[in-house]
Structure 1
Amino acid sequence: MGNRQPNLLAFPTVDALATSLRTYIVQCQNAGIQRHEVFKVAVSGGSLPKTLAQALLTPPSSPEDAIKFDKWEIFFADERAVPLDHADSNYGLLKAELLDKIPADMGKPVVHTIDVAQLDDVQELADQYEKLLVNSFAARDSVKLPVFDLLLLGCGPDGHTCSLFPGHALLRETDAWVLPIEDSPKPPPKRITLSLPVVTHGVKIAFVATGGGKKEIMKKIFEEGNGLPCALVNEAAGERCTWFTDNAAVDGVSFPRRGSLI
């Protein structure tokens, strides 16, 4: 379904990146609310929650700039098969960095966590999370894939995103919405993840990648592709996909970049 190229935005500082990311998220939020009176967003872990907090918790510059958390439904693009208060939990990270810091007057989002009763059976954990998506996005027989208003993703140093790793068999899955993984090359080994078709069918997809440690993998993603998960998202989503990076992360990357989407 993708067409044209993804948008690669580069900023001199993470502060400038966060300001632009907020504007982008607000646009996605308002479009989602206009479409169906709710904003359905999937988020990943890593360094992303900290950047999201920086972007979203600042006071609005105008009424049009308001974050309406009471309209948000937050899902997890991937999650680790651990208790919610475990150090490896993506929910736990988002809670500590963002959710616990939301002022009361901004409203509270609905947050869809994994069913911790299923931690010992990662297939059942994935099935239960898929049922949660089915209930939210309409009956399975009427919707081939859930369509998130926005997916907020990170990029690993190997080019993985969510818990979709380079060369892994899960990249070939075409039907399931949520997949179990028991052999993640990065600990912890047991996780669940949105499938590649679900990720690439989002209305909008945003990656956040910062720091000089990312520049080698960014070169591979944007110059070579090589079937890397992040590159597969770029190829399938095209201009619906936007990368928010700092200059250090794209130093030496041969791909046209912009300072804004405007």
Structure 2
Amino acid sequence: MSGPSLYSFADVDSLAQQLRQYVLNSQNAAVSRHGNFRMAVSGGSLPNTLAKALLTKGDGSSEDTPLFSKWEIFFADERAVPLDHPDSNYRLIKDELLDKIPSALGSPTVHTIDAERVKTGSADELADLYQEDLKRSFAAKDSIKVPTFDLILLGVGPDGHTCSLFPGHPQLREKDAWVVGITDSPKPPPKRITLTLPVVAQAVNIAFVATGGGKQDILRKIFDTEEGSSLPSGLVNVEAGEKVSWFADNAATEGVSFPKRSSL
């Protein structure tokens, strides 16, 4: 298996333009394959970039039109907070993207964490409930080993974490569960759920979005050092290889030796 692709663009607007093409290519292939488009997203700055990509006016062709009514949006990770809380990834994508989709384009089906159990349930209970939701959408867990998302969109933290899979945490070694709970996230809030590495690596397409000079050090580590391949984001590169695309701006990739591309 060959390795990931690293795309580097002059600015976030150029990145968003190419990300739009990438997401819609994934959408169109998925709808042709099985009639809908199942994707998982993370939080951070990603929802803003995704909105910039998808809410710009396209060329009017069917290939360049988001078919939101055929989308099922899941969360690659989520914080165990109420859905209207500022830390909620759902709240972030709702504010940045969902509330701004023109009604003519339809509405995605969105799979949130259990809003009631957030108040009383443990991280493990929330993870189990979200895994049950995945089973209803993909298949019973005893009939498939791992669900196959059409696309997973991820960010990368300065420590190399992605989803809520953090360096050195035991959840990174999980092989069987699809979703796991976390109670000791080094970033607040500490209580979260996350997809596991086998689920991320199984996706048809996986894309990271990393922008700004603050990402330089971690991108150099992930792409140019042996140590980087053992970080969570580096492990996605190792496990999923050519299925992984990184969308970065030039500020984030400055000094990275790994070969960069400027267009899809």
Tell me which interval the TM-score lies in, with the shorter structure as reference length: over 0.9
Amino acid at match of 2:38: K
Structure 2 residues without counterparts, runs of 5 or longer: none
Given the alignment, which residue of 210, 234, 238 partners 1:235? 238
Q: How far apart are the structure 1 equivalents of 2:108 and 2:87?
A: 22
Corresponding residue number in structure 1 for 2:84: 85
Tell me, what secondary structure is at the counterpart of 1:113?
Answer: coil
Q: How far apart are the structure 1 equivalents of 2:216 and 2:207?
A: 18
- Structure 1 residue 242: deviation in Å? 0.1
Aligned residues: percent identity?
A: 64
2:195 aligned with 1:194, yes or no? yes
Alignment of 1:153-232 (within 5 A): 153-224=154-225, 225-232=228-235
2:248 aligned with 1:248, yes or no? no
Corresponding residue number in structure 2 for 1:108: 107
Corresponding residue number in structure 1 for 2:40: 42
Q: How far apart are the structure 1 equivalents of 2:116 and 2:167?
A: 30
- Structure 1 residue 249: deviation in Å? 0.2
Q: How far apart are the structure 2 equivalents of 1:140 and 1:77?
A: 18
Q: How far apart are the structure 2 equivalents of 1:168 and 1:223?
A: 23
- What is the TM-score normalised by the length of structure 2? 0.97
Amino acid at match of 1:234: N
Amino acid at match of 1:259: S
- Structure 1 residue 218: deviation in Å? 0.5
- Contact (CA 8 Å) 1:60, 1:67: kept in 2 or not? no
Amino acid at match of 2:110: V
- What is the TM-score normalised by the length of structure 1? 0.98
- Contact (CA 8 Å) 2:229, 2:238: kept in 1 or not? no
Q: How far apart are the structure 2 equivalents of 1:231 and 1:146?
A: 21
Q: How far apart are the structure 1 equivalents of 2:89 and 2:129?
A: 17
- Contact (CA 8 Å) 2:6, 2:261: kept in 1 or not? yes
Q: How far apart are the structure 1 equivalents of 2:170 and 2:101?
A: 38
Amino acid at match of 1:54: K
Q: Deviations over 1:135-183 (max 9, x none)?
A: 1001111110000000000001111000000111111100000000000
Q: How far apart are the structure 1 equivalents of 2:150 and 2:162?
A: 18
Q: Deviations over 1:26-52 (max 9, x none)?
A: 000001101110000000000000000
Corresponding residue number in structure 2 for 1:134: 135
Q: Which runs of 4+ in 1 moved over 2 A?
A: none
Q: How far apart are the structure 1 equivalents of 2:257 and 2:146?
A: 34
- Contact (CA 8 Å) 1:174, 1:197: kept in 2 or not? yes
Amino acid at match of 2:259: P
Structure 1 residues without counterparts, runs of 5 or longer: none
Amino acid at match of 2:245: T
Aligned residues: 259
